[in-house]
A and B are shown apart, each in its own frame.
Chain A
Amino acid sequence: MKERNLFAIIVLSLVLIAVGYLVATSVDLSWLMPAQASERAVLVDRLFRFMMGIATVVFLIVEGALIYAVLRFRQKPGDESDARPVHGNNTLEIVWTLIPAVIVAVIGVYSYRVLTEVERVPDDPLVVRVISQQFSWRFEYPESGVSANVLHLPVDRPVQFQIESRDVIHSFWVPEFRVKRDATPGQIDELVLTPSQIGRYPIRCAELCGPGHAAMVSEVIVESEEDFQAWIEAGGVEVLDAGKGVPAGDKLPDDPLAAGRVVFTKYGCGACHTLDEAKTGGIVGPSLSDIGRVAAERLQGVNAVDYVRSSIVETDAFVVDGYPSGVMPNDFGERMTPEELDVLVEYLLSQ
C-alpha cells in the first residue's frame, strides 16, 4: 500500500513536471499577449511563459487536490462519527514550506536578471521627449527639433524616452513593447527600449488622469530607418486626411479647410472633442461638430471668430455648462503659429 502510494506520487509528479515544462516551452501562449514589437518584449514574454509553467503546476496541484478531496472524502450517508484525528505532519509541512520558497527564489533571480538586461542603457540612443498632459501626448526629438503627436521610431535602434507631465500623473504604455512608465509632474522619468518590429501600435495612458483618461491614446509607428529619416526631414508634421495620407511637410496644405484639419489633428484636439468632419469622438469637452453655428449664437456681444479664438488660446474663456473647467491646456496660444491658429479658427467656423 505504501509503495503503491509512493509510486503514484512519483508518476503524478513526473506528469505535472512535464505539463509545466510544456506550458513554459511549447504550448502556444501567443493569444495571451499582444505582438512582440520590442527586444524587451521577447525577454519579458520568456519570463512570463516560465512563470505560467510553474503557475499551471501549482494550480493543478491545489485545485486537483481540492476536487479529489471533495469527491473522495464526502461523508458517507448516516455516518455521524468523526474522522481520524491528524494534527499535522512535520515532513509534509517542511516540504510545502521549502518548495514554494525555492520556487519564488528562482522566479526572483530570473526576474532580476531580465530586469537588468532590459534596463541596460544603450550607447548613443535616440532620445525622445514624451510630454504628457490632459489628455494628449506630444513627442519631441531634441536632435532634430521635430515635434509631433504621433510617435515615430526607427526599427532596431535603441531609444531613450524622457517622460514628463505638464499636469497630473500619466503613464506612457505601449502594450506591444511590454512596458510602461509613469509621467510624474516635477520629474523626468526615463525608459529605454529597442523597437524590433515594423508596424503601428497603440499608446495608451495607464494612470487615471481625469475625465479624458480613456481617450488619452496615440500611436507609435515603427518604421525603417529611411522612412524615419524622411519623416524627420519633412519636419515630422503628421498629416492625416481622414486616413488618406496627405504627404507630410512643413507647409500646411493650400486648401484652408484641409490645413485646418491638419492643425486640429496635430494638436490632438480630437482626444477631447467630437468633430464629425475630422472623424474624432472625444467626450471630455463639448462637441465641435456644429461649432460654426453655436459660436455665433452662444453669447450676446461676442462674435463667432472671437468666441472660437478665445476658446482656443485662453483656457476657460467660456466654459460650456456641464463640462469641467481647468481641463483644456492653456498653452495652445504659444505652441501654435499665428498661421496655424488662423486656419484652425476658419476650419472650425466652417463646421
Chain B
Amino acid sequence: MSVNTAAMTEKVDWRKYFTWNTDHKVIGIQYLVTTFFFFIVGGALAMLVRTELGQPGTDLLDGVEYNRFLTNHGSVMIFLWIIPVLAGFGNYLIPLMIGARDMAFPNLNALSFWLIPPAGVLMIASFFVGSAESGWTAYVPLSVTAPLGQTLWAVSVIILGVSSLLGAINFVTTTLTMRAEGMGFWDLPLFVWGMLATALMILVATPMLTAGLILIALDRVAGTLFFDVAAGGDPVFWQNIFWFYSHPAVYIMILPGMGIISEIFPVFSRKPIFGYKAIAISSMAISVLGLTVWAHHMFTSGMNPALRIPYMITSMIIAVPTGIKIFSWLGTIWDGKLRFTTPMLFALGFISMFLIGGITGIFLASIPVDLHVHDTYFVVAHLHFVLFGGSVSAVYAGLYYWFPKITGRKYDERLGKVHFWMNFIGTNLSYLPMFLAGLLGMPRRVVDYAPEFTGVNQLATVGAYLLGLSTLPFLYNAIVSWARGPRAESNPWRALTLEWTTSSPPPEHNFDERPVMKIWPYSYGEVEVESEATGPVASAGD
C-alpha cells in the first residue's frame, strides 16, 4: 500500500511557482492563481461600470473612461480569466486523469503559461498610455483610430492567442498519445473529452483572430490600409475575422466547464453518467458546428442578406447537442443519492443558469428578433448567463471539487455554501433585469441611459455588488484552507477517475506505479469504491 507520504512531510517550496517549471501540476497552479488574479481585476472593472450605471447621468466615469473600463473588463475576463483558467484545469488534470507522467511537451507547456503574465501586464499598462476603448470586439474603423493603448491591447491578445494555441497543441498530443494502458477513447473522462473538443476548436479558430489582430496592429503602426475604407478596406471583413474566432471562443469557454460538471454529477449522485457517449459526441458536435455560426453576430451589418439564413440554421442546431447534455445531466442526478457539497451546488447552479443563457441564444439566432435585440442589454444578459452563470459556475465547481487533490487540504463546506448562494442570487439579480432593459430599448455599452431604465439598472447594480462580495468568502476559504485546512485523503469524494488514485497532492511523478486502467471512470453502483482508509481504488500495478 503506497499512500504517498512524501507530500505530507515534504515542505512545499513555494518558490517553484515563480520560476520556469515544467511540472504540469505546478504550471496548472500557476495558471489557476494567475488567472484568478485577473478575474479580480476584471471584476473590479465591472464594479466601476455597474456603479456608473447605478443611476442615469454620468457621475463616476465620463464617456472615454467608461469605454476604457468596459473594453478592459471584457478583454480581461475573456482572454485573461476564463480561457486561461480552463487551460489551467486542463494542465493540472489531463495528465492525471489519463494516467500520464506529464504533458507531452513540458517546456512548451511552461512557455504557454509564461506568455500570460507579460500579456496581462501589457493590457493593464495600456491604461497609462490611453487605453483601448473600442470594446473587446475592437470593431474597425473605431479601433484603428483609438489611442496607443489599442496597440498594446492588440499585442497582448496576440500573445494570449499564441499561449492558447501552444496549450491546445499540448492537450491534443497528450490526450492522443499518453493515455494509460487499457484506456481507450470511450474510457476518457468527460472533462478530457471537453478539453479535446476545445483544443481542436482553438487550433482552427485562434490563428484567424491572431492574424486579424496583426493586420489591425499594422494598420495602426505601419501605415498599412487593410481596414481603411477610403483605400478600399472593408469594416465588415474585420467582423468576419473577429467572429470566426470569437464565436467559437464561447464554446472554448463552455465545453471544458461542461466537462467539469460531467465529472461532478456522477460522483455526488453515486451513479454512472447518463449517456456517456452522447455527451462526448455532443462535445465534438458542438466543436464542429460551433465553427459555422459566427455571422449570427452580423445580422444587422452589411453582410449579404441571403447568407444570414444558413447562419441562423446552424446557430439554432447548436441547441440540439446542448440539449442532449442538459438532459443527460438531469438523467444522471435522477434517482441518484445526491450529496449537496459545494461543487455539486455549483454544478446544479450551472444547469439552472446556463439553461437561461441557452434558451435566449435561440431568440438571438432568430433573425427578425435579433434585429431588435442585437447590441442591446439583452445580449449582455445572455452572454453573462452563459459565461458567468455557466463557465464561472463550472470553474468554481471545479476549484472546490479538486481543491483537496491540488492542495492536499480540505476546504470549509460552510463557507463554500455561503459563497454558492451569494453567487447564485447575485448572478440572477444582476443579469435577469438586463433582459428586460434590452427588450425595452437600452443599447449596450452606454455610459448613460434614459430615465425609464433606472429601476432595472439599480437591480443589476445591487446584484453585481453581491457578486463582487461573493468572492470574499471564496478567497478567505481558499487561502486559509490551503494554509491550515485539515489534511485531505487521496480520494475524499470516493471518485473513480485516475487522479484520485494518487496522493493529495500528487507526487511530482504523479503515480508511484504506472497506472493501468481497470475500472471505467463512471462505474458507480457497479464496483466497490473503497473509502480512504484502505487507500486508492482504481490504481494499478498490483
Contact = CB atoms under 8 A, between A and B. Distances in A.
Contact of B348 (A66, A75, A89, A210): A66
B272 to A, nearest CB: 5
Among B300, B335, B339, residue most surrounded by chain A Cβ atoms (within 10 Å): B300
A81 interface: yes
Given A82-B529, A179-B371, A206-B375, A69 B445 contact: no
B441 A175 contact: yes
A59 B352 CA distance: 9
A100 B320 CA distance: 6
A75 B339 contact: yes
A316 to B, nearest CB: 13
Interface string B343-383: 00000100110011001101100111101101110000000
Interface residues of B, number: 89
Interface stretch (A106-114, A147-155, A260-268, A332-340): A106-114
A111 B367 CA distance: 7
B292 interface: no
Interface in B439-484: 439-441, 443-450
B419 interface: no
Given A83-B270, A111-B367, A213-B63, 9 more contacts: A32-B440, A33-B440, A47-B366, A112-B312, A169-B139, A182-B301, A184-B236, A202-B450, A210-B67
Contacts of B327: 92-93, 96
A191 B448 CA distance: 27
A69 B63 contact: no
Interface string A198-217: 00001011111111111100
A206 B299 CA distance: 13
A67 to B, nearest CB: 9
B334 A97 contact: no
A180 interface: yes
B134 interface: yes
Contact of A215 (B336, B448, B524): B448
A156 to B, nearest CB: 21
Contacts of A186: 229, 233-235
Interface in A21-76: 32-34, 43-44, 47-48, 51, 55, 58-59, 62-63, 65-66, 69-70, 73-76
Contact of A69 (B313, B334, B339, B439): B334
Contacts of A346: none
A101 interface: yes
User: Chain A interface mostly helix, strand, loop or mixed?
Assistant: mixed
Nearest to B322: A100
A66 B326 CA distance: 10
A111 B312 contact: yes
7 contacts: A44-B372, A62-B355, A175-B440, A180-B374, A208-B142, A214-B63, A215-B63
A93 B324 contact: yes
B323 interface: yes
Interface stretch (B11-19, B193-201, B274-282): B274-282
Contacts of B274: 86-89
B300 A171 contact: yes
Nearest to B275: A88
Nearest to B269: A83
A324 interface: yes
Interface in A217-272: none
Contact of A81 (B58, B142, B337, B356): B337
B363 to A, nearest CB: 6
A58 to B, nearest CB: 6
A73 B309 CA distance: 44
Contact of B270 (A66, A81, A103): A81
A243 B120 CA distance: 50
Closest 5 CB pairs of A and B: A175-B441, A211-B63, A85-B525, A186-B229, A214-B446
A284 interface: yes
Contacts of A126: none
Contact of A83 (B271, B273, B375, B441): B271
B307 to A, nearest CB: 13
B324 A96 contact: yes
B368 A47 contact: yes
Contacts of A171: 300, 375
A79 interface: yes
A77 to B, nearest CB: 11
Given A66-B352, A118-B368, A284-B63, A107 B300 contact: no
Contacts of B444: 206, 208
A257 to B, nearest CB: 28
A16 interface: no
Given A175-B372, A214-B63, A207 B319 contact: no
B275 A205 contact: no
A52 to B, nearest CB: 9
Interface in B510-542: 523-526, 529
B372 A62 contact: no
A168 interface: yes
B5 interface: no
A317 interface: no
Contacts of A342: none
A278 interface: no
Contact of B139 (A48, A175, A208): A208
B339 A88 contact: no
Interface string A97-137: 10011011001100110110011000000000000000000
Nearest to B447: A214
B366 A111 contact: yes
B58 A86 contact: no
Contacts of A104: 316-317, 319-320, 362
A283 B372 contact: no
